[in-house]
């Protein structure tokens, strides 16, 4: 069996490496930084547990549960508090619970009667069949009306992508919505009639998928995968050039070393892929991937005394539409979701700032961010006291934006793999931006690589063959 190089020690690369390792395929993970996990980062301090990237894993695929079991983490898995299922969207300067049933939708104060009628008419809106790629904003206004865009979908897009609904593509950013209209002619009909097909595939819609974490936060998962992989994970190892050989690939490192492998998986970011040099025939260029935009985001975790926050904060959290004129994009009620996220008598709130909405705010100093977030939380949640815990992380390039036309980049990735057999691309720049998408992307990449190695003649390169 021949060896595989995996560039990037985020969750996609670690998952792929772990799956290949389990199948007996020698792997080496090359991670440029001094830690694994990418944006997944959990910090325990003063009795608070702060998450700075994603806060939960959505179990949208059976592969996620399988990975947790195979990694031996079932006993450390945490499911959310059943009472924390409520989600809020801000309107009239206050969080209003999203309706969870048809009756709740008809009686909610979140939408006016006009908006409710527009949603009820959705099954009778003709499907678009001219092939035009619509933005999320165009799609939602056409099918559900302007109010639903301004007061619900804008908040959702900011919370998921830190993005702009007028720029993001429906088929690229929310492909299941586009598929529902294409197959059923309606989102509502698709939700009703498509449920059986989703169940048959073992898939769960993200809005209904079980959430999970671990006793010491999400970082437990990448750290455990690293331990299982042992010396196969190499930190502070930056790959600057890929050289195609007749028998595989040579990776040239910034240290001056070279290593040879039979196959290569790039599981980093699009902008790091763009900086990677390629040597071989036929020629391949990654430069256009630098065009993929990653807006800046700051994650701000604040801890408060329970008596200093009027809102009960029982639920997942709140999303905030731009039309409401607040600076934060949304807030997760972290200590309501899972136990031991805050000391007794306290709560933890995780807020996000920046994105496409206010990119300049993400780069503010920590003290400025704390004040900005507290000012908004004072109005929204009735926060009266000062935080007793505060920590923030700035991501200059946070989330890839699947804008209208993004399909051209995905087609380019497929073409590159076809032109350069043995080179594989996976991760959030290709297969979806959520943590669950990245895990499934790593699993599927491992499947593709294993199948490729079995079908190809064995080559000469050995794992970590330094030149």
The CATH number of the domain holding residue 300 is 3.90.660.20
Task: Say if 209 falls within a structural domain.
Answer: no
Do 159 and 300 share a domain, yes or no?
no
- For the stretch 63-71, contacts whose Cβ atoms lie closer than 8 Å and that sit 24 or more positions apart, written own/partner, are 63/439, 63/440, 63/443, 64/436, 64/439, 64/440, 67/15, 67/18, 67/19, 67/439, 67/443, 68/212, 68/221, 70/18, 70/22, 71/18, 71/221, 71/224, 71/225, 71/228
Do 378 and 301 share a domain, yes or no?
yes
Do 118 and 167 share a domain, yes or no?
yes
Do 349 and 322 share a domain, yes or no?
yes
**Distance (Å, whole) CA 402 – CA 170:** 9
Do 126 and 245 share a domain, yes or no?
no
**Distance (Å, whole) CA 308 – CA 452:** 58
Last residue of a domain, one of 395, 410, 433: 395
DSSP codes of every residue in 192-243: HHTHHHHHHHT---TTTSPEEEETT-TTHHHHHHHHHHGGGEESS--EEEEE
Task: Say if 136 falls within a structural domain.
Answer: yes
pLDDT in tens, 120-145: 999 999 999 888 999 999 999 999 99
Report angle CA 408, 410, 415 to the nearest 5 degrees: 90
CB 269 within 8 A of CB 254: no
Q: Distance between alpha carbon 451 and the CA centroid of its chain, in Å? A: 27
Task: Say if 97 falls within a structural domain.
Answer: no
pLDDT at residue 82, as a whole number = 84
Do 287 and 276 share a domain, yes or no?
yes
Do 185 and 325 share a domain, yes or no?
no
* pTM listed for this prediction: 0.93
Do 412 and 270 share a domain, yes or no?
yes
Provide the percentage of residues in the chain whose pLDDT is more than 70: 95
Do 197 and 236 share a domain, yes or no?
no
**Distance (Å, whole) CA 242 – CA 453:** 19
Last residue of a domain, one of 201, 232, 254: 201
Task: Say if 238 falls within a structural domain.
Answer: yes
Closest by CA to 61, choosing from 437, 348, 449, 455, is 437
H or E stretch covering 248: strand 248-253
Sign of CA dihedral 20, 64, 272, 429: positive
**Distance (Å, whole) CA 3 – CA 370:** 47
Do 273 and 312 share a domain, yes or no?
no
pLDDT in tens, 259-301: 999 999 999 999 999 999 999 999 999 999 999 999 999 999 9
**Distance (Å, whole) CA 49 – CA 373:** 18
H or E stretch covering 21: helix 11-22
Do 445 and 365 share a domain, yes or no?
no
Do 166 and 299 share a domain, yes or no?
no
pLDDT at residue 209, as a whole number = 82
Number of domains in the chain: 3
Task: Say if 211 falls within a structural domain.
Answer: no
Q: What domain range is 362 assigned to?
A: 45-52+57-61+72-83+295-395
Task: Say if 464 falls within a structural domain.
Answer: no
pLDDT at residue 200, as a whole number = 67
């Amino acid at each position: 069996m021949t060896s595989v190089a995996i560039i990037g020690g985020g969750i996609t690369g670690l998952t792929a490496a772990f799956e290949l390792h389990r199948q007996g395929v020698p792997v080496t993970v090359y991670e440029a930084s001094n830690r694994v996990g990418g944006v997944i980062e959990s910090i325990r301090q003063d009795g608070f547990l702060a998450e700075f990237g994603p806060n939960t894993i959505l179990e949208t695929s059976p592969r996620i549960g399988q990975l947790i079991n195979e990694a031996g983490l079932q006993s450390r898995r945490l499911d959310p508090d059943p009472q924390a299922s409520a989600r809020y969207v801000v309107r009239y300067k206050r969080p209003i619970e999203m309706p969870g049933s048809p009756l709740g939708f008809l009686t909610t104060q979140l939408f006016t009667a006009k908006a409710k009628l527009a949603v009820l008419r959705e099954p009778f809106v003709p499907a678009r069949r001219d092939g035009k790629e619509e933005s999320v904003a165009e799609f939602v206004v056409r099918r559900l009306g302007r109010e639903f865009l301004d007061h619900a979908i804008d908040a959702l897009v900011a919370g998921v992508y830190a993005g702009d609904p007028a720029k993001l593509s429906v088929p690229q950013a929310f492909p299941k919505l586009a598929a529902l209209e294409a197959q059923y002619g309606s989102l509502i009909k698709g939700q009703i009639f498509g449920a059986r097909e989703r169940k048959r595939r073992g898939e769960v819609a993200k809005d209904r998928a079980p959430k999970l974490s671990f006793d010491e936060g999400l970082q437990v998962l990448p750290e455990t995968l690293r331990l299982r992989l042992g010396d196969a994970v190499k930190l502070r190892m930056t790959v600057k050039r890929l050289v195609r050989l007749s028998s595989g690939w040579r990776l040239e490192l910034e240290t001056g070393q070279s290593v040879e492998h039979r196959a290569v998986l790039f599981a980093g970011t699009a902008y790091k892929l763009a900086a990677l040099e390629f040597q071989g025939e036929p020629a391949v260029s990654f430069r256009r991937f630098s065009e993929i935009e990653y807006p800046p985001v700051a994650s701000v975790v604040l801890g408060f005394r329970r008596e200093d926050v009027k809102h009960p904060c029982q639920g997942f959290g709140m999303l905030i539409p731009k039309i409401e004129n607040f600076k934060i994009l949304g807030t997760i009620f972290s200590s309501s979701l899972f136990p031991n996220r805050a000391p007794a008598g306290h709560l933890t709130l995780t807020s996000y700032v920046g994105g496409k909405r206010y990119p300049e705010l993400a780069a503010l100093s920590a003290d400025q961010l704390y004040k900005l977030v507290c000012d908004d939380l004072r109005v929204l949640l009735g926060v009266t006291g000062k935080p007793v815990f505060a920590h923030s992380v700035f991501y200059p390039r946070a989330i890839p934006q699947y804008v209208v036309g993004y399909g051209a980049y995905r087609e380019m990735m497929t073409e590159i793999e076809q032109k350069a057999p043995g080179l594989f691309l996976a991760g959030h720049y290709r297969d979806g931006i959520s943590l669950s998408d990245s895990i499934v992307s790593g699993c599927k990449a491992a499947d593709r690589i294993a199948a490729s190695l079995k079908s190809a003649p064995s080559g000469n390169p050995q794992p970590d063959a330094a030149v």
